[in-house]
Amino acid sequence: MAAHANLLDKNIKKNMIQMALPLMFLNLINSLYSVVDTFFVGRIGELQVGAVTLVGPITSCAVAFTTGLNAAALALISQSIGAGNREKANKTATHLVLLSSLTAIIMNAALLLFTDPILAWLDCPADILKDSRAYLQGIAFDFIGMFLLSLFHAIHQANGDSKSGVFVNSVSAVLNIILDPIFIFGLDLGVLGAALATSLSKFLLVPYVIYRLYKNDLHGMTTIAFRKFPLTMESFKEIMTVTIPASVGQFFTAFGFVLMNKAIIYYGAVAMSAYGLGSRIANLFYIPVNAIGGALSAFIGQSLGAGDVEHAKNCFKEGMKLCTAISAVITIFGWLIGPHIVPLFVKDASQELLTLATEYTFYSVATAFFMGWYGILSGVFNGSGHTRSTLVLAVFRLWGCRIPMIYLFRMLGFGPTGIWWSMVLSNLCCCAAGQILYGTGRWQKTKLKKA
């Protein structure tokens, strides 16, 4: 039986750490996909790293819908469990799996169809065009595995179990590590091999994920039953009420990074490679603080489902305390070792690449606290089902702050450094706005409907 925490217990800090630790490991596993790909692609050359980095946010745009479905899983299922309505939780999970599968298939086909128009719009340089196209077409097959593994984790997290998702994604990450060198070098597929290895490593776990969800009743957790719970318009509308705002927010976030890449590629393919390396390293440092926000969603959902608003507020306070302490350590540690990590990824890296990547890493690590704060605020709004607030923050962070700052700093002649500064300042402004939204107290009203 999978152990899961009692999220309504008064020992919040202990339970939050218990919940966050597996999430930290899961985030590390998820980061390994890109880190491992970057490492092996870096063995080919530094421009290939830029090719993979350029098209990365395109796939994030395509998978924005699964972010909304996961938010719906966390909010609706955790609130149903908190209210003692297991039947409602099972029905919601079943419909989420169906919608997630259909969306993945549609996204797969769309990305394959529009690969060349996308690359043309990105102004992809000729020296990385072939590799960018190959990676984008290969990673299109990642959607089915990615969507279902991600939803599997969200469903279990809503039940207070963050270990099952870690196990599945750990196995997938190990498969990716094994398949990457085989596909990239053994089969001589280059960056296409990296994409196919990532896709296959997740797809192979899909049968197990479906089997586990069918048998979850044996473990006292949310299960799925397609025959028992056919999709209805009422259920579809309820899920979409939470899904669409979160999906739109994620889409705008991802598309903002697409525009960031367009701004970075203005300075050349080497600058794009530097950004790719720096972001992979920075994401590793963000793992602990991001895990706190991820864990908080289930705490908020179950607390509000049980009608205990005060407990939900205390969960937010404890999350902020943990975030502050962890981010202080991360920032100092990151500044000390960051410059020594960059050279490990790319064979025979140019001095320009090393300088730009180290500079970006410095600024990224400096914003660790704001990333954690933003994640905690998102955890509150997603857990309560108020994903429109998450949408507002996502749009404000990138479109109200970061994108205008990027082009302003370009006009002022800051070069790539202006992009790094825009990231720090936009995160700060977003957190301030998010705290104001939190202070209104609107998130305290749940979005859950009766079965």
Q: How much is the pLDDT for 360? A: 85
Q: How much is the pLDDT for 451? A: 47
Tell whether 451 is covered by a domain.
Answer: no
Tell whether 377 is covered by a domain.
Answer: yes
Q: Note whether 377 and 431 are within 8 A (CB).
A: yes
Residue 2 has pLDDT above 50, yes or no: no
Q: How far apart are CA 100 and CA 35, in angstroms?
A: 26
Tell whether 6 is covered by a domain.
Answer: no
Q: Note whether 173 and 32 are within 8 A (CB).
A: yes
Q: Note whether 128 and 48 are within 8 A (CB).
A: yes
Q: How much is the pLDDT for 164? A: 84
DSSP 9: S
Amino acid residing at 59: T
Tell whether 16 is covered by a domain.
Answer: yes
Q: What is the C-alpha R_g of the chain?
A: 21
Q: Count of domains in the chain?
A: 1
pLDDT, tens digit (0-9, with 9 covering 90-100), for 17-48: 887 887 787 777 767 667 777 777 877 777 77
Q: Which stretch of DSSP H or E encloses residue 67?
A: helix 64-72
pLDDT, tens digit (0-9, with 9 covering 90-100), for 125-155: 888 889 889 998 998 899 999 899 989 988 8
Q: How much is the pLDDT for 61? A: 76
Q: How much is the pLDDT for 8? A: 63
Residue 248, both tokens: 């739109």
Q: How far apart are CA 342 and CA 352, in angstroms?
A: 12
Q: How far apart are CA 262 and CA 271, in angstroms?
A: 11
Q: What is the mean pLDDT of residues 38-65?
A: 77
Residue 278 has pLDDT above 50, yes or no: yes
Q: How much is the pLDDT for 3? A: 47
Tell whether 259 is covered by a domain.
Answer: yes
Q: Which string of b and e fits 286-325 if b means at least 16 CB within 10 Å?
A: bbbbbbbbbbbbbbbbbbbbbeebebbbbbbebbbebbee
Tell whether 139 is covered by a domain.
Answer: yes
Tell whether 7 is covered by a domain.
Answer: no
Q: How far apart are CA 79 and CA 84, in angstroms?
A: 9
Tell whether 228 is covered by a domain.
Answer: yes
- 2's torsion region: left (phi>0), alpha (psi -120 to 50) or beta? beta
Q: How far apart are CA 9 and CA 160, in angstroms?
A: 12
* Domain enclosing residue 413, as ranges: 12-444
Q: Note whether 53 and 258 are within 8 A (CB).
A: no
Q: What is the mean pLDDT of residues 313-331?
A: 91
